[in-house]
């Protein structure tokens, strides 16, 4: 149980794929103009992560070492195709908003990296938990970035007005530079908070209570 909770903590905070490991940053900047897009991309990537991690872990002893990366890509592509078809069938508007970034999940270094680093070396349960934890961390990062951009760009959040009508929208937040600026500031803040926590923990461990 403790190990499972640690995996979730790492995926959400200390090893967050976007804000700490700096993986999957392309969709985090490109489609994070609205919270709806961020949630949609996060859930899609999480489903692919869970499915690919699980299959890679189950088949890890049967995949030849020489072609393991190619096999991982094929497995990931299969789950991406399933997710893409489901989104197009049930959420066509979201599919249009996310556009080419749904198929590009296939080459997302975060998903391929978890298959190589974790799923191929652990049992199916641990691999499944890792996929869920990393997917939740990825989704959380997208929600944070897209929330900031949507609020500053339109004064609303998920269609609900959160700033006064007199608020002047910051147009740059709807553009690519706004994604770079927002993501850079969030990463800097997270790194600052983690460094402070690490320093405080280190000081606590090194101190002696009399």
Give the model's confidence band at 206: pLDDT under 50 very low, under 70 low, under 90 confident, else very high. Answer: very low
Query: Is pLDDT above 80 for 203?
Result: no
With beta carbons less than 8 A apart as the criterion, state whether 36 and 68 touch.
no
pLDDT single digits (tens) 64-99: 888 999 999 999 999 999 999 999 999 999 999 998
Instruction: Give me the pLDDT at residue 30, please.
Output: 86
Helices 2-9 and 124-154 sit at what angle, rounded to 10 degrees? 30
Residue among 76, 84, 79, 77 at smallest CA distance from 102: 84
pLDDT single digits (tens) 153-179: 999 998 899 999 889 999 899 998 899
Q: How far apart are CA 69 and CA 86, in angstroms?
A: 26
With beta carbons less than 8 A apart as the criterion, state whether 33 and 146 touch.
yes
Q: Report the chain's mean pLDDT, rounded to a whole number.
A: 90
For residue 80, the tally of other CB atoms under 10 A from its CB is 24
pLDDT single digits (tens) 10-59: 999 999 999 999 998 888 888 899 999 999 999 999 999 999 999 999 99
Query: Is pLDDT above 80 for 194?
Result: yes
């Amino acid at each position: 149980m403790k190990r499972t909770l640690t995996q979730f903590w790492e995926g959400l905070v200390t090893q967050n794929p976007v804000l700490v490991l700096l993986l999957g940053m392309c969709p985090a900047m490109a489609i994070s103009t609205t919270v709806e897009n961020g949630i949609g991309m996060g859930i899609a990537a999480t489903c692919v992560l869970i499915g690919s991690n699980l299959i890679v872990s189950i088949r890890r002893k049967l995949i030849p070492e020489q072609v393991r990366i190619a096999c991982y890509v094929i497995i990931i592509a299969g789950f991406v195709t399933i997710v893409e078809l489901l989104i197009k069938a049930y959420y066509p508007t979201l599919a249009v908003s996310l556009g080419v970034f749904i198929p590009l999940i296939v080459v997302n270094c975060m998903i391929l990296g978890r298959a190589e680093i974790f799923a191929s070396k652990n049992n199916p349960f641990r691999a499944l938990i890792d996929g869920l934890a990393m997917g939740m961390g990825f989704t959380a990062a997208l929600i944070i970035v897209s929330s900031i951009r949507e609020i500053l760009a339109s004064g609303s959040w998920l269609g609900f007005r959160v700033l006064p009508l007199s608020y002047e929208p910051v147009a740059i937040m709807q553009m690519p530079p706004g994604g770079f600026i927002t993501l850079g500031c969030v990463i800097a803040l997270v790194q600052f908070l983690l460094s402070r926590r690490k320093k405080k923990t280190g000081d606590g461990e090194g101190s002696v209570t009399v």
